[in-house]
C-alpha cells in the first residue's frame, strides 16, 4: 500500500510538472493582468505602467494594469497570492507592501515569502532626508545634535502609518537614539505641503519631489537613504557615508507572480524584464523619476525580499512600532 501511494504521488507530480511545462510553451495565450496594489499616480503605479507597456510590446499580448488599492497594499497583493500560477496574473509591488506589511501585521492573509514567485527587482528609488528651511540644522550631524538636545521637540511627517517614509523615519530615530514625533498624513503630496509650511520639521521624500524645493531653498536636503548616491542629486552624500551606521532604507519595486509559477515562464518574464530595464527610453524615464534601474535575477529578487522582511521585523520589534 505504501509503495502504491508513493508511486501514485510520483505520477501526480510528473503529471503536474508536464502540465506546467506544456502551459509554459504556449505562454502567454491571452491578455495579462498586472495588479498594482496602490492607487493610480504613485511610484508603484508608475513602475507598473512602465513595465506593462514594455511587456505588451515584447510578449505580443495586451497587459492590463489593475489598480487594487486598500489596506496598505494588502488587498491587491492577496489577489495575486490566490491567482492561478499560469503567468497571466502578476504584480508590481514594493518594499512597503511586500516587506514592511508582514513585519507590522504577522496575521496577513498570505505569506510574503511562501506565497509568491519572485521574477525580478525592477528598480530602486532611495529617499532624501529633508528638513525645513527654518530648522537650525544644515547637516546630518547638526540635525542629530538638535534632536538629542531637544527630545520630542522635532517632528517628522510621513505619507501614512506603515508607509516607507514612516518606517524610514522610525529607523532614523532608532539608529540615532533620538525622540522625534511622527505625524502621519494621507499621501506624499500632503506631507510635502506640511513640510513647506513649517508644520513638520523633517521628512523622507522621493528625489524628484524634493529637488525643486531644495533648489528653491525652501527645504534643505541632508542625505540620501540608500546605499548609493542618487543620479539626480549626485552631490548629496548617503546617510551611511556621513556616519549613520546601520541605516539602510532604499525603496524598491519588484515583479512577482503567485506561488508555483513554472520555471520556464519565470525565465521568459525575467528575460523580458532585463531587456526592458536596459532600454534607453525606460532608463530615461526611471532616472527622471529618481529611480535606479536594476533588473535582478529571480534569486536576487527573493534575497532582497527576505532581507527587507528581516530588516523591518527587527525594527518593529526593537522599536515597538504599532500602526493601530
- 214-229 residue pLDDT tens: 999 999 999 998 888 8
Over residues 274-282, the mean pLDDT reads: 96
118-133 pLDDT, tens digit per residue, is 999 999 988 899 999 9
Task: pLDDT band for 249, please (50, 70, 90 cuts).
Answer: confident
Over residues 144-172, the mean pLDDT reads: 91
Distances, alpha carbon 73 to alpha carbons 50, 195, 259, 268, 307, in Å? 19, 25, 18, 26, 19
Question: For residue 87, what pLDDT is reported?
Answer: 97
Give the three-class secondary structure for 91.
Answer: strand
Question: For residue 231, what pLDDT is reported?
Answer: 80
Question: For residue 79, what pLDDT is reported?
Answer: 96
What is residue 117's DSSP assignment?
Answer: E
Beta strands of the chain (E only): which ranges? 32-36, 63-67, 89-94, 116-124, 127-132, 155-158, 181-184, 202-206, 219-224, 252-258, 292-293
Over residues 301-316, the mean pLDDT reads: 91
Question: For residue 209, what pLDDT is reported?
Answer: 81
Task: pLDDT band for 21, please (50, 70, 90 cuts).
Answer: low
Most confident of 133-142, 227-236, 242-251, 303-312: 133-142
Question: For residue 18, what pLDDT is reported?
Answer: 45
Yes or no: say if 250 and 33 are a contact pair by the CB < 8 Å rule: no
- What pTM, to 2 d.p., does this model score? 0.82
Task: pLDDT band for 6, please (50, 70, 90 cuts).
Answer: very low
Over residues 254-263, the mean pLDDT reads: 97
Question: For residue 8, what pLDDT is reported?
Answer: 46
Lowest mean pLDDT among 5-19, 107-121, 151-165: 5-19
Q: Is the pLDDT of residue 24 over 80?
A: no
Q: Is the pLDDT of residue 7 over 60?
A: no
Yes or no: say if 109 and 101 are a contact pair by the CB < 8 Å rule: no
Q: Identify the structural domains of the chain with CATH numbers, from first to last.
A: 32-124+251-319 (3.40.190.150), 127-233 (3.40.190.10)
Burial of 108 (0-12, 13-18, 19+ CB in 10 A): middle
Q: Is the pLDDT of residue 316 over 80?
A: yes
- How far apart CA 196 and CA 191 sit, in angstroms, is 9
- How far apart CA 186 and CA 188 sit, in angstroms, is 7
Over residues 51-61, the mean pLDDT reads: 95
Yes or no: say if 221 and 236 are a contact pair by the CB < 8 Å rule: yes
Yes or no: say if 142 and 136 are a contact pair by the CB < 8 Å rule: yes
Chain-wide mean pLDDT for the chain? 88
Burial of 210 (0-12, 13-18, 19+ CB in 10 A): buried
Question: For residue 125, what pLDDT is reported?
Answer: 86
Amino acid at each position: 500500500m505504501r509503495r502504491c501511494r508513493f508511486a501514485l504521488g510520483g505520477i501526480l507530480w510528473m503529471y503536474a510538472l508536464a502540465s506546467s511545462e506544456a502551459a509554459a510553451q504556449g505562454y502567454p495565450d491571452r491578455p495579462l493582468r498586472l495588479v498594482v496594489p496602490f492607487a493610480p499616480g504613485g511610484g508603484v503605479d508608475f513602475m507598473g505602467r512602465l513595465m506593462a507597456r514594455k511587456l505588451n510590446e515584447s510578449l505580443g499580448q495586451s497587459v492590463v494594469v489593475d489598480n487594487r488599492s486598500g489596506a496598505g497594499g494588502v488587498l491587491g497583493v492577496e489577489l495575486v497570492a490566490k491567482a492561478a500560477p499560469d503567468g497571466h496574473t502578476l504584480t508590481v509591488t514594493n518594499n512597503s507592501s511586500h516587506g514592511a506589511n508582514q513585519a507590522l501585521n504577522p496575521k496577513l492573509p498570505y505569506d510574503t515569502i511562501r506565497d509568491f514567485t519572485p521574477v525580478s527587482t525592477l528598480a530602486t528609488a532611495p529617499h532624501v532626508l529633508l528638513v525645513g528651511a527654518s530648522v537650525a540644522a544644515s547637516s546630518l550631524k547638526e540635525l542629530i545634535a538638535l534632536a538629542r538636545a531637544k527630545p520630542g521637540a522635532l517632528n517628522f511627517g510621513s505619507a501614512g502609518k506603515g508607509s516607507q517614509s514612516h518606517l524610514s523615519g522610525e529607523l532614523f530615530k532608532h539608529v540615532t537614539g533620538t525622540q522625534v514625533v511622527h505625524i502621519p498624513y494621507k499621501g506624499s503630496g500632503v506631507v510635502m505641503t506640511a513640510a513647506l509650511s513649517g508644520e513638520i520639521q523633517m521628512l523622507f521624500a522621493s528625489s524628484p519631489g524634493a529637488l525643486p524645493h531644495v533648489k528653491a531653498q525652501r527645504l534643505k536636503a541632508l542625505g540620501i537613504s540608500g546605499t548609493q548616491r542618487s543620479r539626480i542629486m549626485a552631490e548629496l552624500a548617503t546617510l551611511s557615508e556621513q556616519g549613520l551606521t546601520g541605516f539602510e532604507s532604499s525603496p524598491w519595486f519588484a515583479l512577482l507572480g503567485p506561488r508555483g509559477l513554472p520555471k520556464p515562464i519565470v525565465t521568459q518574464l525575467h528575460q523580458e524584464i532585463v531587456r526592458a530595464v536596459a532600454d534607453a527610453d525606460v532608463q530615461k524615464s526611471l532616472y527622471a523619476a529618481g529611480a535606479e534601474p536594476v533588473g535582478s535575477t529571480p534569486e536576487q529578487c527573493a534575497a532582497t525580499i527576505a532581507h527587507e522582511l528581516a530588516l523591518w521585523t527587527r525594527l518593529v520589534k526593537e522599536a515597538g512600532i504599532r500602526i493601530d
